[in-house]
Amino acid sequence: MFTGIVAGTGRLLAKRGAGGGLAFDLEAGFDLTDPAEGESIAVNGVCLTAYNIQGRTFTVDVSPESLSRTTLGKLSVGGKVNMERALQLTDRLGGHIVSGHVDCVASVRERQSKGDYTLFSFSFPAALSCYVAEKGSVTIDGVSLTVNSCGDETFAVSIIPHTLQVTTLGLLKRGAQVNVEVDIIGKYVERLLLRKGSDDKVDIKEKGINSAFLAENGFF
């Protein structure tokens, strides 16, 4: 698990085919203190297993599943990436609970400057819109952000200067693609609501979630 508070950026040193997927050699832009062989490191929001750790460099394998659901396959050698080591139980939860399991790839619709801040709007699949809420949390390329506004196929975030400087988000331009992970809590709540009792399934997509549905299922 992660928090979406990126430790720093790194760069892709090399990429090669491996077992139907890819293997990346990466260099972190910060010290990997007490590195553990096989530990989880989020790379642009994707949870990957690090091995062959030597100083700041390490190798990860990227499965065909990850390549099909993320932007990792499009990374170029020398390209910058956001990195975060896995959450420890003694850490501060400065962002929100992030699994490192990307839900979709979104595209930058617009980038605007608002004083010292930068407003990004993104296009993403309508099927995921129910998990994105105004003032809720979303993860963009591994960065925990607050949703300013959202629609059926779009959402917007406002990014502070510090975040633009210490992550790759400052490099984003219109049309760029990013990895998106929606709030995991919303997905689990929906999954629980899909069951009524232990056996009878409730079709939320057919009935919708409203006050009558919540009352019927004992929420108030």
Give residue 99's pLDDT band: very low, low, confident or very high (50, 70, 90): very high
Predicted pLDDT of residue 200 = 55
Residue 196 clears pLDDT 70, i.e. is over it: no
- Residue 77, pLDDT score: 98
Q: What is the mean pLDDT of residues 121-138?
A: 96
Say how far apart CA 7 and CA 31 lie, in whole Å: 10
Q: What's at 21, amino acid-wise?
A: G
pLDDT at residue number 205:
55
Q: Which amino acid is at 138?
A: V
Output DSSP code: residue 64.
H
Of residues 156 and 91, more confidence is placed in: 156
Instruction: Identify the sign of the CA torsion 169, 175, 180, 186.
Output: positive
pLDDT at 216: 75
Query: What share of the chain in percent tops pLDDT 90?
Result: 78
- The mean pLDDT value for 157-177 works out to 96
Is the per-residue pLDDT at 66 higher than 80?
Answer: yes
Domains in the chain (CATH in brackets) are 8-85 (2.40.30.20), 104-185 (2.40.30.20)
Q: How many C-beta atoms surround the C-beta of residue 198 within 10 A?
A: 5
